[in-house]
Amino acid sequence: MAIQILNRKKQTKRVDFMQFLSGVPARDYVFQHTPYEEQIREAASLLKQADAVIIGAGAGLSTAAGLSYGGKRFRDNFGDFIKKYGREAMTDMYSAGFYPFPSEEEKWGYWSKHAYLNRIEPAALPLYQAVYELVKDKPHFALTTNVDHQFWKAGFADEDIFATQGDYGEIQCGKGCHDKVYDAVELFQEMNQARKAGSGNQ
């Protein structure tokens, strides 16, 4: 794979993709010339010296922890949905969430399984536990777009987390008539059991 890069003199230079990632300067991208292992050692040293730590975490952390939304994990867990609605619409858990399900029952059948699989069923994952171990003895705060509750499960206190996109374990009024959120864990567990009973395996 190659990327076209236009330099300041408007001359086009063809660069191999791996070369691009490892050191070709660009105005809008910060390149790391330091070897990865050295970066990790430096980060570990800075973490030990820090008086406090702010963690910014997105989907990459949960994916690295094992909560992949695509590939085999999606196919193994959403085979019935793929068969019913088609591979074009059901490519991964994220994209499938935008499918225009023909009924509320079908929509919540999908979303309750999605929430159960990614939020309710998994215990604290080792990667999140390792992150907590790194920061637990000093002031820390996690700012995350992840909705899988893993920071809480790993031991982070509620006041030390800001989950900007909410939590799959909570629901609220679809019309936005009030600000209250409701715990949906028990509801999704019941929906999961009903779905299993209805399908025989899902």
* Chain centroid to CA 136: 22
Q: Encode burial over 106-143: b for 16+ CB neighbours within 10 A, e otherwise.
A: eebbbbbbbbbbbbbebebbebbbebbeebeeeebbbe
pTM, two decimals, is 0.79
pLDDT of residue 55: 95
pLDDT of residue 174: 85
Other Cβ atoms within 10 Å of 39 Cβ, number: 11
Sequential pLDDT tens for the chain (202 residues): 233 333 444 455 554 544 555 555 555 555 667 888 898 899 889 988 999 999 999 999 999 999 999 999 999 999 999 999 999 999 999 999 999 999 999 999 999 999 999 999 999 999 999 999 999 999 999 999 999 999 999 999 999 999 999 999 999 988 889 989 999 999 999 998 888 887 655 4
Residue spans of beta strands (DSSP E) within 138-195: 140-144, 161-163, 170-172, 181-183
pLDDT of residue 103: 95
pLDDT of residue 102: 94
CA distance 42 to 25: 22
CA distance 67 to 59: 9
pLDDT of residue 175: 87
